[in-house]
Amino acid sequence: MKEPKALLDYARSWPLRLWMGAVGLFLYLPLAVLIVMSFNDSRRTTKWQGFTFDWYGKVFQDTELMGALGNSLTIAAFSTVISLILGTLAAIALWRFRFPGRTLVDGSFSLPIVVPEICMGVALLIFFARILPWPGGMVWPLSLGAIIISHVAFSFPFVAVVVRARLESFDRSMEEAARDLGASEWQALRDVVVPHLQPALLAGALLAFTLSLDDFVITFFTAGPDTVTFPVKVYSMVRFSVSPKVNAISTLLLVFTVLLTFIALRLQAKAEAEKS
């Protein structure tokens, strides 16, 4: 039998529990509907006709859709690696050094986070078309390279914010002890600081990969006519009708993202266990 205090605490917390349950239902019910309708035997997503796996087979037979998914994964992989390196270096520089204009530089990293994506997409389009010409007057070809650069400009501030937050919990005396024991500045950074940053690096990489894979607005402005990414391809398909094929490929992408998140969390937990 619960004690009076426990009963009182439970009575006070039930509105919060109800609210959290409603929020979770609002967030995840559409995903559940998407997964269920990917097995629908009908072309109409508003009517259930039967259970089938045929749409998953048709997804892999659609060369254009798979090519767009391959482009998105390639862009996300390259932009994640570059964003992780630039974001980590920027965070360490702002954490360690004091220089004129440091506050301004620190604040500028928040601009890509708060500026609307459509404004950044238009700005990048003008940048590639007018400000950054190729030799001979040719404009920058809007292709995978332009999209990767655009995604890096958008993603690496997120990595810098995550890594910077992790650095605030770092004990500088550990790095000083390594220097006293004969380690150089780079050795202390590699052997002491970077291991402490592993959870933030995993979180930043996962965040950058997800942002790049999911981005539509910036990609729409910086992609060339011969370069189609997965979000742009899905948008072109949804303009006419929502096919169960779109539900199937979205379900596969959702499963891939969940598995990637699970692996990242496992690696992060392993790193924390080894440190303790």
Question: What would the pLDDT profile of 126-156 be if each residue is shown by its tens digit?
Answer: 888 776 555 544 455 557 788 888 899 888 9
**88-136 residue pLDDT tens:** 988 888 888 777 877 787 777 777 788 888 888 888 888 887 765 555 4
Delimit the CATH 1.10.3720.10 region(s) of the chain.
56-275
* 51 three-state secondary structure: strand
How confident is the model at residue 241, as a pLDDT? 66
How confident is the model at residue 137, as a pLDDT? 46
More confident residue, 138 or 59: 59
Residue 107 CB coordination number (10 Å) = 9
**17-50 residue pLDDT tens:** 888 888 888 988 988 888 888 888 877 766 778 8
**211-261 residue pLDDT tens:** 888 888 888 888 877 788 888 888 887 777 667 788 888 888 888 888 877
Contact assessment for residue 22 and residue 231, using Cβ atoms and an 8 Å cutoff:
no
Does position 75 have pLDDT exceeding 60, yes or no?
A: yes
How confident is the model at residue 48, as a pLDDT? 78
More confident residue, 85 or 177: 85
Indicate the pLDDT class of residue 272, thresholds 50, 70 and 90.
Answer: low
| Amino acid at site 73 | L
What distance in Å separates the CA atoms of residue 190 and residue 194, rounded to the nearest whole number? 5
Contact assessment for residue 200 and residue 163, using Cβ atoms and an 8 Å cutoff:
yes
DSSP result, 31-43: HHHHHHHTTBSSS
56-275 CATH choice from 3.40.190.10, 1.10.3720.10, 1.10.3710.10, 2.60.40.1190? 1.10.3720.10
Q: What is the pTM of this model?
A: 0.79
Does position 79 have pLDDT exceeding 90, yes or no?
A: yes
More confident residue, 263 or 76: 76
